[in-house]
Structure 1
């Protein structure tokens, strides 16, 4: 490999450069010139916590709208939003602008059941969660155990309450989730050619055989996902690469194999380009006329035509004709028609103000222990509804209603992690705090983002807080106990107040340095 001509200080593999020149023709000079331009930066406002309008009034960041993402904005590199205290409240997610397009095209609606099949580190999962608006179910999965840690943290930081996090091979998932989902996102592993400007090391590591190696995985993922989509459901396949084999050719092959699917054409607006002209490539000659014509409805995001890195997106619709193996379509308007998780023999339902159904996975908890949970919720967040509790040992989760049996599946989070049952007490989790709003908590302490106290809290320090600074829902509530700590009105964690001292409950692994 050699450095290509005309690129200032950038290495691009010679094989890649030759292929792109052949593929793009007259557009190649503009494409290669884009590597001399600085990359752009984006963030997406987390509308689970804050409206776009409110955030724009609150933030000091200089932002420009991203035309294809409803809550996406460009920011200047020197703004460094990851260093701002608002980042720690989960008000936004830092995300490459082009990477926001696939979820926008998935068209998620509140109440749907959605799968993000290759989810880590969680950017697109948290974007899906904003579209669900707290309703329905998000199942988010990644096969890499090390990357799942980042996925979990981003789900919790964003305050997502209706997500299940799995760490499993898609081949295993398709048996538990046959024809289950309304929407599926496959942000497929790929050769990453679209990220060469953003990540120079990726260009240096790239090998020509990556294209076919990743194509094998992509082919399997599409087949596996197809079996988990309900009749009439919608699926988005995306990559951050340029090769025809991983993009248009992959979709054409899928369409010929799965005649029950069709491409939903995407309008070439906002800098998006029509799928590659298949008539110019002999690589697609082996596919049917239907498939070759259909892939023109896919879209490319080219770095020389818009402000973003390289992406490909295909929107696929199950045409409503069930295959022979398909199960009856679920009634999307009736929770009773959805599959329900089967409780094991040790599960019990308890009475009380907070008396959700109970699933137990691990050691059995006594009714007295569970009453500690219900008492905490009544005393600290009485308006927060929990329909179903799942126990894994002492860990307590609020699970979405309607999950199928997940026996044999590696479950990282079976729902919103709300805390642990200790011997004679319930301890709320940081994830619970991040999933609440100011209005949910009966006792809060407000800090300003510009204050030294806010920075000290995020560093894990104990704070001196006057009794008068504690906001209570009513005067009958004691000052002593758990307080939801807020920065500019948005939850950032727990503290335990007593006699003018706030014991900091901010977890060590999250602390600001």
Structure 2
């Protein structure tokens, strides 16, 4: 066995699994399963299946998910850089599928980094509704924001907050909430040997306390009739059936919705609570609540092609019609000072030298909005996509008003469309990544097969003749061009006199 598993973990799993234990143990010597998920914001499923440049086969519990061959490197293809698919472990695709998202929903991904499940949610929303995606770790929100941008998500807000502070700002606002909870990570031991080595540091008891607090906040965030999906990548019954049994005992307005049988996922194991020494008194759950956790789902590496996961679907029994239609504003008495709002990563604030003028002055909101409107009118065919928010010299289109975000640590208040430099509007890379070719005045399609697309992704300047710039009638080829790979948006270029100046960001380039 390549992975050195903790002896205490093995002893407990042997006790719980009984006759299944040998097969479970053998799974650690079996091949790992890798997967990709088509990004429906940029490509439909039929197109993806026709264009995907490597062998795939469907994943039973995710209609847009596909198994790939072990050892394959799908990140080394231009389509990955164009955001056509997300590389994701197959079992990790199940929680979002269980959430039952519909276009127009207001969705919160509470523990979101690095963002795989958030991009899955965004694909189901299809640009409608609202996605608030959050992580408590400031460092991890960098990857979260980048994935939101790479995959062309327009209707997302990225936060770096605690669940309780979000609950104060968005009380009973969301009708779908995903909790991919921090956990002891036992289900990932096959995939990540370091998690097995760190297991004792990530104690079950410590994780339980965090999970309990997160679920409490989620109940305050959910609208009547809404759904919470709670998931972990661990086997510990204390963090799974025990946590859910205690939650529905405290919240009788919730019930557990069974996982679809056609997914081939095993049921929850309520009998394990007593076997693991988790008493009703200690966890404060009723026998009836414990029994109901059999409706939860468990993904086992010896029974399915994937890693270990637990999924619980919690439905609020209230009438969804009771939920008021909430606009994006909050009462003035509840507003916090805008100075508490953390500026998005990458913004440069004006700094005043001692006894001297500012190093540079920020453009006014009127100047920012005017510059954006002028650029959009001259270069885009874009319908209204949310409220323009001017912040730190940058322009965002947000699904929420600025008032709603006051006082929250906001990494991205919406779709980042650009900034004003030296009085001129410069479009941002996330604007290009989320545009459809028909929404740009000028486009250029590069082939993924002849090396030109890779040269662009490496940041090279390209010699491009004017007749290759596709543009609407009457438009000149000179100016900003939406660069596409086989027809799918990838970034900006600036064309002049037969040369395309590369605007692909240095931090995103092919290496």
When normalised by structure 2's length, the TM-score is 0.90
Q: Which residue of 1 aligns with 2:343?
A: none
User: Which structure 1 residue ranges, 5 or more long, are not aligned?
Assistant: 1-7, 332-336, 348-360
SS in 2 for 1:370: helix
Q: Which residue of 1 aligns with 2:344?
A: none
Distance 2:167 2:331 in 1: 18
CA contact (8 A) 2:233 2:308 kept: yes
Say if 2:164 is the partner of 1:181: no
Q: How does 1:13-412 map to 2 (within 5 A)?
A: 13-207=6-200, 210-278=203-271, 281=275, 282-286=277-281, 287-320=285-318, 329-331=323-325, 337-340=326-329, 365=364, 367-401=366-400, 405-412=404-411
Distance 1:463 1:94 in 2: 29
CA contact (8 A) 1:232 1:320 kept: yes
Between 1 and 2, higher relative CO (CA 8 Å, sep ≥ 6) is seen in 2
CA contact (8 A) 1:165 1:411 kept: yes
Distance 2:261 2:23 in 1: 19
CA shift for structure 1 position 425? 1.2
CA shift for structure 1 position 245? 0.3
Distance 2:389 2:418 in 1: 11
Distance 2:331 2:363 in 1: 16
SS in 1 for 2:444: strand
Say if 2:434 is the partner of 1:441: no
Count of matched residue positions in the alignment of Structure 1 and Structure 2:
481
Q: Which residue of 1 aligns with 2:508?
A: 510
Distance 2:331 2:491 in 1: 34
Greater shift in the superposed pair: 239-248 or 197-206: 197-206
User: Which structure 2 residue ranges, 5 or more long, are not aligned?
Assistant: 339-348, 351-361
CA shift for structure 1 position 303? 0.5
SS in 1 for 2:158: strand
Q: Which residue of 2 aligns with 1:418?
A: 417
SS in 1 for 2:262: coil
Distance 2:259 2:401 in 1: 32
CA shift for structure 1 position 402? 6.2
Deviations 1:50-89 (CA, angstroms, capped at 9, x unpaired): 0111011112210010010010000012331010110000
1:456 to 1:342, Cα distance in 2 relative to 1, 3 A: farther
Distance 2:386 2:407 in 1: 24
CA shift for structure 1 position 271? 2.6
CA shift for structure 1 position 454? 1.1
Distance 2:426 2:201 in 1: 52
SS in 2 for 1:71: strand
Deviations 1:334-366 (CA, angstroms, capped at 9, x unpaired): xxx43436899xx9xxxxxxxxxxxxx996625
Distance 1:429 1:237 in 2: 35
CA shift for structure 1 position 249? 0.3
CA contact (8 A) 1:284 1:292 kept: no
Distance 1:143 1:45 in 2: 27
